[in-house]
């Protein structure tokens, strides 16, 4: 399900190439599983969390941060921009994608340099935006 404490997040494919690690956060377990499957099928390594607290604990346990974080807007514990600020305190350079069904939530992220995506977010859009975030 995730990378354990102290483990490296660097993953290598069978051909020796680098595989980007996506930290995926969603309290809806069905959405979490679907997102994980989509991202893995696209060739990414995925570590997942269902709460802000769990995501922050994972961030603290990584030897290096994830390459990109994809989070739902509403989470148990800290949500929205509060969670993104907490995430940035631990991993300031990690690109963040926020997914929400609430268009009005986009304004909450002004100045936080996130990519805001609206639900529903088709798999090909998610993959594309993660690739864009990775540069």
Least Cα distance to 99 among 74, 78, 77, 65 occurs for 74
Query: Residues, the chain, total?
Result: 135
- Tens of pLDDT along 87-118? 999 888 999 999 999 989 999 999 899 999 99
Count CB atoms within 10 A of the CB of residue 63.
Answer: 11
Pair type for strands 45-49 and 68-72 = unpaired
Taking the model in full, what pTM does it have? 0.86
Confidence of residue 11 (pLDDT cuts 50, 70, 90): low
pLDDT of residue 3 exceeding 50, the answer is no
Domains, the chain, ranges and CATH?
A: 17-134 (3.40.50.2300)
Of the ranges 8-12, 41-45, 123-127, 128-132, which one carries the lowest mean pLDDT score?
8-12
pLDDT of residue 24 exceeding 90, the answer is yes
């Amino acid at each position: 399900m995730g990378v354990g404490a102290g483990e490296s997040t660097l993953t290598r494919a069978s051909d020796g190439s680098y595989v980007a690690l996506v930290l995926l956060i969603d309290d809806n377990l069905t959405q979490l599983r679907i997102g994980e499957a989509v991202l893995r099928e696209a060739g990414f390594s995925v570590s997942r969390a269902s709460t802000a607290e769990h995501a922050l604990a994972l961030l603290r346990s990584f030897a290096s941060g994830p390459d990109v974080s994809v989070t739902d807007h509403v989470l148990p514990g800290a949500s929205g921009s509060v969670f993104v600020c907490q995430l940035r305190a631990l991993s300031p350079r990690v690109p963040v994608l926020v997914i929400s069904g609430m268009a009005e939530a986009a304004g909450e992220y002004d100045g936080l340099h996130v990519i805001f995506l609206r639900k529903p977010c088709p798999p090909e859009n998610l993959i594309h935006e993660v690739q864009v975030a990775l540069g």
